[in-house]
Amino acid sequence: MYQNPILKKEMSIGGRTLSLETGRVAGQAGGSVLARYGDTVVLVTATMAENIREGIDFFPLTVDYEERLYAVGKIPGGFIKREGRPSEKAVLSGRLIDRPIRPLFPKGCRNEVQVVATVLSVDQDNAPEIVAMIGASAALHISEIPFQGPVGGVIVGLVDGEYVINPTVEQAEKSRMHLVVAGTSGAIMMVEAGAKEVPEEQMLEGILSGHEKVKEIVSFIEQFRAGALSMGLAKEKVEPAVVSVDPGVEEAVAGTAEEKIAAAVRHCVDARLDKKRREKYLDEVKAGLLAGFLETYPEEEAVITAVLDAVEKKAVRRLILDEQVRIDGRRLDEVRPITVEVGVLPRTHGSGLFTRGQTQVLSVATLGAISEEQILDGLGLEETKRFMHHYNFPPYSTGETKPMRSPGRREIGHGALAERALEPVIPGEEVFPYTIRLVSEVLSSNGSTSQGSVCGSCLALMDAGVPIKAPVAGVAMGLIKEDEQVAVLTDIQGIEDHLGDMDFKVAGTAEGVTALQMDIKVPGVTGGILKRALAQAHAGRMFILGKMLEVIPGPRQELSPYAPRIIHTSIDPDKIRDVIGPGGKIIKKIIEETGVQIDIEDDGRVFIAAVDPAAGNRALEIVRNLTRDVVTGEVYNGRVTRVTDFGCFVEVVPGVMGTPGKEGLVHISQLAHHRVNKVEDICQEGDTITVKAIGYDNQGRLKLSRKEAVPPEPGELEEARAAAASSGREGAGHENGGHERKRPPRARQGRR
């Protein structure tokens, strides 16, 4: 049987071994790499279709990140015991791989390319998404696919002021940021970060330190390809099926159209046309030009259209670079007009409407009980999540009609970015024991809806009365770069995102960055450019934050009347069963009678959620009574349940939900400071009396005293002493309640 040779190469990253192997598995894929880092193993394949897909005007690249729960020794939850639709984490991991590799394919490539990363084994100290990214780069690089990489990627942490490459779980818990940096040896291609208010200078330093390690990984993958070629395990690159343009047609169209389109762009600036009117006007100009050119080149409609779009792009870019003017007339560092509203929805727990130019986002906050947190069935260590942010982008937000479907990768990605931006300021469960869900509805879109979601959601949190640590705002930055000419744009709109060279989103508080996302379309973005972009983003963020705080300077002091009030208490874990009851009978009855929601943690923490405070307090009283112990020395108001000749029985903790209460005996000698002849002289069955717990007898029965719980009435002690004196036994009334102690006769021995 023929056996392929196997190539395996290793390098060290962060003190652990990264290995790439090919030739052993998945031999029919275009490129196949088994990537291993510690005990994390990911199989990554890259395959390209031989023929181009007809009728498409984009590069059809697909990146699938396949989680297998056997990788962490789990069986999928639910009724169907197999993996279903990708988790949110899997979607985000796929995007993380897609973003740095997509710009590195030839312009005009139309062959379908599919990258599949299958997670086979997970060691929590070594992130599988980073292993998958490196494996994808290597698989593409050894395949015949015309990939202009390779790329590398690392996670950068900030632990005790030091940058750590690919931090372990223990280090990540102490880290002030989670920064993913990916790129080639010459350029940073993608940055994704969540941080705990890290200053821009530290963030930039982290990006640059991460890129230094990326360069080593890229060199390692180059060596891997060289070794694979020498062993016949790598393939020579093929020429892609690229949509080409006739140079003669391109030159003729561009030469004639440039002046007219440049004039049309200038008119848009001078007239301050909004998005819809600008698009309509420019489309009309291009349509007129297209009609004229089709008379000369009747078979070249697609080519002419592409050239006209390229001329428009060039005109907008030249305007920015040469005149420092944007197509809507703004300065490069100017933020669009902002409108802020809060409390716009009467029955929700909190709402914020954030409008910036023609981008408008309505965010709504909902507060729920701890039990309503999201259960995660994935490969990570986290099993639940109590803070969620969801993002919806309906077609009407861009004036279009499309089918309404479940959230796609873009919606999931934008929602996760805003969640990452806000998470560092969310109060802990011990301070604010709620599950928090935010939903951002994009009502109108013209650039940077994700950062609009950050602002709108921060407003909704403050409107809901969530005690966030600090307000958060976000802004999207853009870049136009041609040779040495560079323009950094603040608060980019849709056309600038489409025609620009960088999409750089920064969110944070006044103290520092909480989230950052950067995608670069061109090489050569230096540390100096990034520093400039971060500084300009800081100024923009502070301006936006100021506008927000003018409307609502901080979280409201009171929750919405429609939000549940959560009452927190703790009980002895051994008494949890007393609250739950057999088969959950007692806790169900409490919920049914009070209308509250009760969550009990294994450590004895009890959370009672109730919209009606009185109902919550009633439920709390029931829980306390079910678990309350009678403590020696404490005073209680109890109900007399039985009266006997020798005393009365008093229920000091009432029974609830059909459970018996806790009662003890008040002996007749402990009923009063004076001699009591008859128990009924002091109390009757059904009376409420004040008693003190004085201990337990040798059979564990509770002993109570009214005498020690209430002060004597005026003259009561003197009366008791007088009664005792008259009987010849001073103090007997006080000592023994005035009763003679009858002793049994005892035998006497005679003396000799």
Name the binding residues for Mg(2+). Answer: 497, 503
Q: How is residue 67 written in tokens?
A: 């989680």
The DSSP call for residue 109 is B
Residue 127: CB partners within 8 Å, gap ≥ 6?
A: 40, 155, 166
In sequence order, what DSSP letters do the residues of 200-232 get, joined into one string?
A: HHHHHHHHHHHHHHHHHHHHHHHHHHHHHHHTT
Buried b or exposed e, range 24-47, using 16+ CB within 10 angstroms: eebeebbbbbbbbbbebbbbbbbb
Contact (CB, 8 A) for 683 and 648: yes
Q: Are 387 and 423 in contact (CB under 8 A)?
A: yes
The helix (run of H) or strand (run of E) holding residue 643 is: strand 635-644
HEC secondary structure over 681-720: HCCCCCCEEEEEEEEECCCCCEEEECCCCCCCCCCHHHHH
- DSSP-assigned beta bridge partners for residue 441: 362, 392
Residues 6+ apart with CB under 8 A from 701: 664, 665
Listed in sequence order, the residues at least 6 apart from 752 whose beta carbon sits closer than 8 Å to its beta carbon are: none
Residue 163: partners with Cβ closer than 8 Å, 6 or more residues away: 156, 157, 205, 206, 209, 210
Short-list 543, 510, 502, CA closest to 526: 502
Q: Residue 676 carries which side chain, given as an amino acid letter?
A: V
How far apart, in whole angstroms, are the C-alpha atoms of residue 712 and residue 315?
99
Determine the angle formed by the axes of helices 200-230 and 527-551, rounding to 10 degrees: 140
Which residues make Cβ contacts (< 8 Å) with residue 660, sequence separation at least 6?
none
Map 230-283 to HEC letters. Answer: HCCCCCCCCCCCECCCCHHHHHHHHHHHHHHHHHHHHHHHHHCCCHHHHHHHHH
* CA-based torsion, 189, 193, 198, 202: positive or negative: negative
Q: Tell me if 351 sits within 8 A of 457, measured CB to CB.
A: no
Which residue from 21, 63, 78, 95 is spatially nearest to 415, judged by alpha carbons? Answer: 95
Structure tokens belonging to residue 686: 């059904």
In the 3-class helix/strand/coil scheme, how is 418-469 assigned residue by residue? Answer: HHHHHHHHCCCCCCCCCEEEEEEEEEECCCCHHHHHHHHHHHHHHHCCCCCC
Q: With H, G, I as helix, E, B as strand and everything else as coil, classify residue 322.
A: helix
Compute CA 687 distance to the chain's CA centroid, rounded to the nearest angstrom. 56
Q: Which residues are annotated as a binding site?
A: 497, 503
Helices H / strands E in the chain, number of each: 16, 29
Structure tokens given for 589: 């009855």
